[in-house]
Amino acid sequence: MAILIIEDERKLVDILKIGLKGERFSVEVAYSGEEGLEKAMKNEYSLIILDIMLPGKDGILVSKELREHHIHTPIIMLTAKGSIEDRVIGLNAGADDYLIKPFSLKELFARIRVILRRRKTTDSDIIKIADLIMDKKKHEVTRAGRVIPLTPKEYKLLDVLLSGNGEAINRRKLIDHAWGPGFKETNNELNVHIKYLRTKINEINKKPLIHTIRSVGFILKE
């Protein structure tokens, strides 16, 4: 699991780095708000440790911008002042938790564990394969960050295909789920709708994800 630290205080960064690596996290560092934003938007992290006091863009702005860009990586904010206002502003800006400096590594690790555990239980709402993501809460599918508008049937078909977890799904299961149990095809409906779905998915990235398994069904994998 990777953690991004956005903090300009090099001494503190070094301590955090050593501590987190000892807990088997891989660690990346950004020393300014701008650099942090760039990294957080480009790469995927399990968690971001974000200081409020940063040169240029401060932590509050960074957090706000990330959330505005639909990046929901959990954020633990660090604040030096420890005032109530800071905490409220931080949480309103989209942070998941905050720590007042100086804090112990033990305290930080405990907070990280809580957040990552919480994260795990909600993960099932988001299914991901390669650059394709289905967000069940939002009822939204994206590829490479771009929303794919799907009809209800296409959404259902994709949902079943994703549930296969890289294994083939037979035609009957797909038809039952999208059209209703026992539905009898009259115009090759399944193939037609899979074709629509494929076209939409491949419009954004040509790399095929839906593969045909002859006389069996379909499989969704890289």
Residues that bind Ca ion (CB under 5 A): 8-9, 51, 53
Q: Which residue number, 49 or 175, has a Cβ lying nearer to Ca ion?
A: 49
Q: How far is the CB of 116 from Ca ion (least distance, A)?
A: 24
Report strand pairing: 2-6 vs 26-30. Answer: parallel
Residue of 10, 19, 11, 8 whose CA lies nearest to 107: 19
Q: How far is the CB of 7 from Ca ion (least distance, A)?
A: 5
Q: Which residue number, 63 or 161, has a Cβ lying nearer to Ca ion?
A: 63
Rg (CA), the chain: 22
Q: Which residue number, 9 or 23, has a Cβ lying nearer to Ca ion?
A: 9
Q: Which residue number, 85 or 167, has a Cβ lying nearer to Ca ion?
A: 85
Residue of 81, 120, 75 whose CA lies nearest to 98: 75
DSSP state, 7?
-
Residue of 11, 19, 31, 115 whose CA lies nearest to 72: 115
Q: How far is the CB of 62 from Ca ion (least distance, A)?
A: 12
Q: How far is the CB of 52 from Ca ion (least distance, A)?
A: 7
